[in-house]
Amino acid sequence: MNTRSLSFRLVAWYAGLLTVVFVVLGALTVLFLLHYLDANLFDIQARRARQIADTLLAAAPRTGEAAVGRQIEVLYSPETNDRLIRITRADGHIVYASGSPKDRSFDPSQVPLPPLTRDGKFNRKESLPNGALLVAAQTYTGSDNSRYVVEVGVSNARTEATLRRVLIMLGIGLPITVCVAVAGGFVLVRRALRPVEQITRKAEDITQHNLSERLPVVQTGDELERLSISINHMIARLEDSFQSSKQFVADASHELRTPLTVLRGELEGLAQDTQLKPQTRETLGSMLEEVDRLAEIVEGLLALSRLDAGEAHSEWVRFDLAELAATTADQMSLLAEDKNITVVCEATSGVNVEGDRARMKQVVVNLLDNAIKYTPNGGRVRLNIKTEDGCAVLDVADDGIGIPQDALPHVFKRFYRVDGSRSRDQGGAGLGLSIVKSICAAHGAQVEVASVPGKGSRFRVRQLLVNNTSVHAHP
Amino acid sequence: MRILLVEDEKKLCELIARALKAERYAVDVALDGQSGWEMADAYGYDLIILDLMLPIVSGTEILQRVRRKNQEVPILILTARDLTEEKVQHFEAGADDYLTKPFAFAELVMRVKALLRRGSISRAAVVRIADLEMDRLSQQVKRSGRKIELTAKEYALLEYLATNPGRVFSRTMIIEHVWDQSFEGLTNIVDVYVRHLRRKIDDPFPTKLIRTVRGVGYGLGESGEA
């Protein structure tokens, strides 16, 4: 899993925050609950203590202290209710003390006596061996100035049990909740980000050759929809500017054709005059050569802009690339012989591809011409056509001067020259390889170059094969 | 023979007219579509050379109007646009030939001659230029009675040069006729083949038949307007 991905980071943050919030909330709840339960218990005991003081002790001068104890037994039965009830006189004499509670949650004899000098009511927590005991005390001063302290106590074992249960619930519930929330969050984030995935894939597919295509607009009404719409607007603007630059090249090339025709016509007329001085003839010839080069550049640019416009589909046929390459190599053999270069052609027949035959021939011609041009006299050019992984692979390799590493990415660019002065002598408009690239692009083929300076270069064209079955039947 | 030239580029018009007049054709010039159509309508020309992008009335329109009225006259289209679909479209509309700018004037003159069927392309089985003899049926070449062995491409090149002795052919023309368009831009292929051809045709003999005009191209036989 990619830990830098947006979905992972979102979910991780979300899970972390959720855990922190839950832990804090749980802790606060437990603290509050503890406080509330204690206060509540104290309150109940304190009320009871006041009752005893107000009713039973108030009657004690009439009924006698012993009667108070009996009445407490009858009214409150502290042992059965697991309560401690104790009445102590100010002089330390215990008027009444309840016995051991039924559940043995505390031992009454171990509960220390209250501070007898304090007035009013006060609560305290006594730590006993069996657990804490909450004791609420209430002082009572009778009409005869006799002072008593009434204590009502209860073990807080039940509160602790409740708290323990809450803690267990939190301990189990919290991780489960976080897990469910993380899983849900992950699903939600993935769903929310799925359009991003689509947009990314589509955006990678869009190149200068299919700028008319658009990203899928995700109709979610959210930021992603806005993003995809504005990226689409951007592509539209790109398309416009590409279109107008292509149109400009095409228009300019067309406009140049007529003046070039005139120029050439005038010069040709002059050049054929037999009365000319040799020097004038040379000058005219040189001018005509430059006019030819201009015309060649114009034609190359037009060919490129037409390929960009996708015109190559006009004559789409199935043909044998190996056969095409072999015949082309044969037609160009004299060109190689002239420089004493051996052209080796290795081809297995039946490498069937689909496309514009004339255009693909141009690819072979341009690549071979290039190879022959940059191979020194007596060198070797190898042409190899084979099939590989469902692709037709055409290799043109030479043992010529090679291309420097830093120039490799640029060799298919228009008018690019590795080394201006040297290449210019070899003629050409500097468009041959970009035409190769454009033709390949129009055929869905890839062209790549590898080179070792001083050792030679290899151009490789890789094009999808069409299924061979029907072709074997007609060899 | 009277030719109507409809072309709005004045200089180009003058050049073409001059080249055609040198071939002893009568040439009328129209600089816009309207006058072009009126002239074509008024007079029965032997050939119309038509630019497509014209002011007032387009070349395509003139082509259609002429064809509606007169099926006979050959029409040569001259244009800076060369999309295949456009060519097909105009051939279907009745054009006889199509020439894309920039063209060599020699090419234009050759096409005009071919359209007017005036002996430019020799149909004879044996062609003789000086002491060079070409048998078009057996594809055999002799000079001063000596047989010369040529490869198929060398023969095709020689035969093409021999279609119009004395005229200079541009490299582009030669490539288009002897090879195919894929080789356009590789002008040195022509130079290499001509050099080889020369070695066989000219080197053993005192008079040289293959002529180079720098910047223009190659020709066969004596220069001159014969």
Q: A96 pLDDT exceeds 60? A: yes
- Restricting to A residues 249-288, those with a Cβ less than 8 Å away from any Cβ of B are 254-255, 257-258, 260-262, 264-269, 271-272, 274, 281-282, 284-288
Cross-chain CB nearest to A429 (options B85, B185, B188): B185
Same domain as A332, residue A303:
no
Using alpha carbons, select from A142, A97, A149, A95 the residue that is nearest to residue A120: A149
Residues A132 and A250 in one domain: no
| B144 φ/ψ sector (left φ>0, alpha ψ -120 to 50, else beta) | left
Q: Is the pLDDT of residue A472 over 50?
A: no
- A264–B153: do the CB atoms touch at under 8 Å? no
At residue B143, φ and ψ (nearest 5 deg) are: -135, 130
Query: Is A66 part of any domain?
Result: yes
Beta carbons within 8 Å of A102's beta carbon, 6+ residues apart: A79, A80, A82
Per the domain annotation, does A183 fall within a domain?
Answer: no
* CATH code of residue B16: 3.40.50.2300
Between helices A157-205 and A6-51, what is the axis angle to 10°?
A: 160
Instruction: Write the DSSP string, A156-172.
Output: THHHHHHHHHHHHHHHH
Nearest CA distance, A2 vs chain B (angstrom): 50
Q: Which of B105, B113, B210 is nearest to B166 (CA)?
A: B210
How far is the C-alpha of A267 from the C-alpha of A4, rounded, in Å? 68
**Residues B71 and B16 occupy one common structural domain:** yes
How many structural domains is chain B composed of? 2
Task: Tell me, yes or no, if A324 comes closer than 8 A to chain B by beta carbon.
Answer: no
**Average pLDDT of chain A, as a whole number:** 84
pLDDT in tens, B89-112: 888 888 888 888 888 888 888 888
Let me know whether A76 and A154 are in one domain. yes
Amino acid residing at A314: S
Residue A449's pLDDT is what?
Answer: 92
Q: Is B58 within the bounds of a domain?
A: yes
Given pLDDT bands bounded at 50, 70 and 90, which one contains residue A473? Answer: very low
Does A435 fall in a domain? yes
Choose one of A148, A163, A178: the last residue of a domain.
A163
CA–CA min distance A249, chain B (Å) = 13
A331-390 per-position pLDDT tens digit: 888 888 888 888 898 888 788 898 888 888 889 999 998 888 888 888 899 999 988 888
pLDDT digits (tens, 9 = 90+) for B148-183: 988 888 898 998 888 778 788 888 888 888 887 777
What residue numbers bound the domain in which A289 lies? 223-308
Asked if residue A209 is part of any domain, the answer here is: no
* Structure tokens given for A192: 């929310």
* pLDDT for residue A91 is more than 70: yes
- The residue among A308, A343, A366 that closes a domain is A308
Residue A218 maps to a domain: no
**Statement to judge: residues A304 and A338 lie in one domain:** no
- Residue of chain B whose Cα is closest to the Cα of A278: B214
- Whole-angstrom CA distances from A360 to A282, A354, A394, A454 are 37, 10, 11, 29
pTM for this one? 0.62
Looking at beta carbons, which residues of chain B come within 8 Å of A286?
214-215
Are B79 and B162 members of one domain?
no
Residue B22 at interface with chain A, using a CB cutoff of 8 Å = no
**Are residues A278 and A156 part of one domain?**
no
* Residue B22 domain-assigned (yes or no): yes
Span A281-334, pLDDT tens digits: 888 888 888 888 888 888 888 888 878 776 645 677 888 999 899 888 888 888
Instruction: Name the nearest CA neighbour of A261 among B225, B6, B9.
Output: B9
Tokens read off for A96: 């009444």
The chain B residue lying nearest A260, using CA atoms, is: B102
Sign of the dihedral defined by the CA atoms of residues A284, A290, A296, A301, in that order: negative
Domain for residue B144, yes or no?
no
Interface with chain A: mutation pick from B18, B173, B182, highest number of A CBs within 10 Å: B182
Q: Give mean pLDDT, residues A129-156.
A: 86
Q: What are the chain A neighbours of B180 within 8 Å (beta carbons)?
A: 358, 361
Residue B112 CB partners (closer than 8 Å, separation 6+)? B3, B20, B23, B25, B47, B49, B76
In percent, the amount of chain A with pLDDT more than 90 equals 12
Q: What is the pLDDT of residue A426?
A: 54
pLDDT at site A180: 92
Q: Domain range spanning residue B172? A: 151-220
Give the per-residue pLDDT at A421: 40
Closest to B223 (Cβ–Cβ): which among A274, A281, A362? A274
Q: Which residue of A272, A274, A335 is in closest CB contact with B216?
A: A272
Distance CA A288, CA A21 (A): 85
Q: Are residues B101 and B156 in the same domain?
A: no
A80 touches chain B (CB under 8 A): no
**pLDDT cut 70: percent of chain A above it:** 94
Digit-coded pLDDT (tens) for A60-85? 888 888 888 888 888 888 888 888 99
Cα distance between residue A360 and residue A436, in whole Å: 8
Asked if B180 reaches chain A (Cβ–Cβ under 8 Å), the answer is yes
pLDDT of amino acid A461: 93
A372 and A339 part of one domain? yes
Instruction: Let me know whether A272 and A318 are in one domain.
Output: no
What's the whole-number mean pLDDT along residues A416-432? Answer: 63
Residues A332 and A289 in one domain: no
CB contact under 8 A, A254 and B80: yes
All residue ranges of chain B with pLDDT < 70 are 70-71, 118-124, 185, 187, 222-226
Report how far Cα A254 is from the mean position of its chain's Cα atoms: 47
Q: What is the pLDDT of residues A401-422, one digit of tens each?
A: 888 888 888 888 888 877 654 4
